[in-house]
């Protein structure tokens, strides 16, 4: 009997202790980020890395979103409470000739979806539109293409930027 009680106590404590659903697992698809891919303007089927690209919010404090790195794929957040975000894309950051282009994204918030107890709710975005602020010859971002106008997850590219 004593052994049975001990066993039950341990089982109970074990179940109590294993509350893995109190922490949201990192690999859970929560509110998705916008996936931007950079491609070559002269060869539009070819990805082309951007040299030391730094992405900041176009606010007064220039909040850093992506620390400068050379890559072809970047993921940036959209603000669920708003319907538009202004970004500054700085190419060649801390180089001799940094070039900043203003990039505006407008969107609608989609359905909120319940994930689980620990993660709570996520949302999605629809009707993605993007605008590169024209600066004439000063632009390094030369064109864009919306591949997927709804952002449900981060598995595929939403916007392609040619440069």
Partner 1 sequence: MKIAHILLFFISTLFATLDAVAQDDLEKTKDTLINKSKYGLRFGIDLSMPLRSILDDGYQGVELMADFRIQDRFYLAAEIGNEKKDYPEPTIITTTKGSYFKVGLNYNAYVNWVGMNNEIFTGFRYGFSNFSQELFGYDLYATNQIFPPTYVTKNIEYSGLTAHWAEFILGVKTEVLTNVYLSLNLQLKRKISETALENFDNLYIPGFNRTYDFSQWGVGYGYNLTYLLPLFKK
Q: Does 11 bind partner 1 (CB under 8 A)?
A: yes
CB of 72 to partner 1, least distance (A): 20
Rounded CA-CA distance 65/67 in Å is 7
Rounded CA-CA distance 135/90 in Å is 14
Q: How many residues bind partner 1 (CB under 8 A)?
A: 36
Q: Does 21 bind partner 1 (CB under 8 A)?
A: yes
Which is nearer to partner 1, 44 or 120 (by Cβ)?
A: 120
Rounded CA-CA distance 113/124 in Å is 8
β 73-76/113-116 pair status: unpaired
Q: Does 59 bind partner 1 (CB under 8 A)?
A: no
The residue count for the chain: 163
Please give the residues from 69 up to 98 whose contact with partner 1 meets the rule CB under 8 A.
Answer: 77, 79-81
Judge residue 26's burial from the number of C-beta atoms within 10 Å of its C-beta, 0-12 exposed, 13-18 middle, 19 or more buried: exposed
CB of 149 to partner 1, least distance (A): 20
- β-sheet bridge partners, residue 35: 75
Which is nearer to partner 1, 34 or 39 (by Cβ)?
A: 34
Which is nearer to partner 1, 6 or 43 (by Cβ)?
A: 6
Q: Does 158 bind partner 1 (CB under 8 A)?
A: no
Specify whether the CB–CB gap between 94 and 116 falls below 8 A. no
**Quick count: other Cβ atoms within 10 Å of Cβ 153?**
14
Residue identified by tokens 């002269």 is 42
Please give the residues from 114 up to 153 whose contact with partner 1 meets the rule CB under 8 A.
Answer: 114-123
CB of 97 to partner 1, least distance (A): 27
Binding site for partner 1 (CB under 8 A): 1, 4-5, 8-9, 11-12, 15-16, 19-21, 24, 26, 30-31, 33, 57, 63, 65, 77, 79-81, 112-123
């Amino acid at each position: 009997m004593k052994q049975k009680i001990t066993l039950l106590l341990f089982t109970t404590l074990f179940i109590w202790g294993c509350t893995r659903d109190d922490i949201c697992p990192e690999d859970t698809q929560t509110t998705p980020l916008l996936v931007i891919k950079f491609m070559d303007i002269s060869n539009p089927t070819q990805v082309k890395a951007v040299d030391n690209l730094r992405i900041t919010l176009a606010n007064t404090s220039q909040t850093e979103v992506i620390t400068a790195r050379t890559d072809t794929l970047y993921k940036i957040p959209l603000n669920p409470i708003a319907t538009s975000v202004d970004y500054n894309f700085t190419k060649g950051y801390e180089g001799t000739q940094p070039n900043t282009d203003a990039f505006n994204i407008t969107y609608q918030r989609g359905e909120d979806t319940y994930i689980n107890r620990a993660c709570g709710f996520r949302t999605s975005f629809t009707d993605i539109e993007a605008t590169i602020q024209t600066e004439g010859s000063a632009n390094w971002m030369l064109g864009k293409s919306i591949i997927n106008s709804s952002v449900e997850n981060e598995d595929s590219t939403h916007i392609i930027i040619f440069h």
